[in-house]
Amino acid sequence: MKILTPSQLHKADQYTIEHQKISSWELMERASLAAVEKIKAILKAPKPVTVLAGSGNNGGDGLAIAFHLDQLGYEVEVLVLKYTTEYSKDCKINFDRLQAKTEIKVEEFTEDSNIESLNFKPVIIDAVFGIGLNRALPEFVEKVIKKANHAQALRIAIDVPSGLFLSKLTPPQSIVFEADYTLTFQCPKLNFFLPDYGNALGKIQVIDIGLDKSFINKLDSDFEFVNKKYIDGFYKVRHRFSHKGDYGHLLVAGGQYGIMGSVSLTAKAALKSGVGKVTVLSPQCGVEILQHSVPEAMVIPSDDIEQVSPKHLNFKPSNICIGMGLGQSKLAVKSLTYFIRLSKQPILIDADGLNILSKNKNLFEDLPDQSILTPHQGELKRLIGEWGDQYDKLDKMKKFSRQYNIILVSKDAYTFTVYDDQVYINSTGNSGLATAGSGDALAGIISSFLCQNYSPLESSILGVYIHGKAADFYTTSNSELSLTASDVINCLGKTL
């Protein structure tokens, strides 16, 4: 699903209005009815609702939602935060309809109103500002939003939480409506996935309001939101008449004394994701551990007791996954260099391997094209350097990918996969993945798909999606707090 800018969405609105021969009010009505269906599903049964509406088009959405909820029997009150002297045309139509056809209590608030007297119903729907906001909220609006954020209520934002900028970064310390749910129209927006105010979004649900698909398909976007529909576009079904040789042979190289769990998790995750065979190159101290913990994997001892060392292989692996638990000693540097130069196919590098790369940039010259790097945020900073803000970070990741022709999988609350100028934002996963070994499992999943003849980019996108989906499956019956990397691996069979 493309992620579009506010300007592109406005153009899509206008094109749809012209080519579907509808009015802007009819498009607003369509969006509002779709939002009401989502609200009904969230609430499950009618509950008293306060609608916070602005005096622009987002406010028009809110007033239409209030009308339709009232028609369905919900107890609704409307607080209009009138930050302009006049209502927008469509907002005024919906305001007048409320007055004429319902008994909803509608109060208009301005900068002269007594904010302290405000009380809210158990559900607050925010429709004050939308995608066009690019300036600080009026002071009285800030006060109302702040009060709503402290209310004991379920909070639902329509299209975008009020106070959040979309055409530029939201200034630090800004007041933003803190939603439990954000019901956004047509597509998610880039700033939803940036850490500065990402926690204000709650659960994001995308509402298709019927904007012209042919027009949207022609729009250029550097950002793609990866959902099930996107994955289904390239996911492969296995053939009955096949054998393990059809699904590749992965070499996992890593581990050291006291840190053998890392490669054990990687090997398990790869096997659970469908690779034909896994061989682990391990320090001698880890052989017995691995043969007990991952009996399906073959294990080759290196020449060193406590660390991985370069080793001549008597087979040709489909792909190599290296770095987990490798350490950063001279021997570790020598091992990484050896396997980078050995591989003619894209290689996945994680953990200690990334830290070695950041200190030995000459190794990038030997990396096979479209190799995959999977850094967490600290490792990413060591690779690409400090960034000024989140937009600068995105630019640096794109530049880094272009410079070395590699794929960056930037692990975060929303994992970004970057190749060239394109960024793929993952839709799955939860905070439970912030746990030791989670990245080791991800490395194994991506490497497994790489061995199964997915392209390096497809392997990265699919691996991140499945990794997050397994975590989400676990939390359908368990808490996010209890999630471990082993739980993710154990849930792979239920999510692939």
Closest CA to 59 of 14, 36, 34, 89: 89
Binding site residues, as ranges? 57-61, 126, 130-136, 159, 162, 325, 376, 411-415, 439-440
- DSSP class of 286: G
Contact between 457 and 370 (Cβ < 8 Å): yes
- DSSP class of 184: E
Backbone phi and psi for residue 5, each to the nearest 5 degrees, phi listed first: -85, 165
pLDDT-flagged residues of the chain (< 70): none
Q: CA 346 to CA 406: how far, in whole Å?
A: 9
pLDDT the model gives residue 332: 98
Q: What pTM does this model have?
A: 0.96
pLDDT the model gives residue 117: 85
**Helix (H/G/I), strand (E/B), else coil: 350:** coil
Contact between 449 and 475 (Cβ < 8 Å): no
* Strand 298-301 to 319-322 pairing: unpaired
Binding site residues for K(+), as ranges? 58, 126, 162
Fold held by 6-220? Rossmann fold (3.40.50)
Binding site residues for (6S)-NADPHX, as ranges? 57-61, 130-136, 159, 325, 376, 440
Contact between 158 and 183 (Cβ < 8 Å): yes
pLDDT the model gives residue 116: 87
Binding site residues for AMP, as ranges? 411-415, 439
Domain covering 244-495 assigned CATH 3.40.1190.20 in the classification: yes
Q: In the chain, where are the structural domains located?
A: 6-220, 244-495
Q: CA 457 to CA 348: how far, in whole Å?
A: 12
Q: Classify the phi-psi angles of 173: left when phi > 0, otherwise alpha if psi is within -120 to 50, otherwise beta.
A: left
Assign 3-class secondary structure to 42-72: HHCCCCCEEEEECCCHHHHHHHHHHHHHHHC
Q: What is the pLDDT of residues 270-304, one digit of tens each?
A: 999 999 999 999 999 999 999 999 999 999 999 99
Q: What is the pLDDT of residues 346-370, one digit of tens each?
A: 999 999 999 999 999 999 999 999 9
Tokens of 362: 């000459």
Q: CA 483 to CA 485: how far, in whole Å?
A: 7
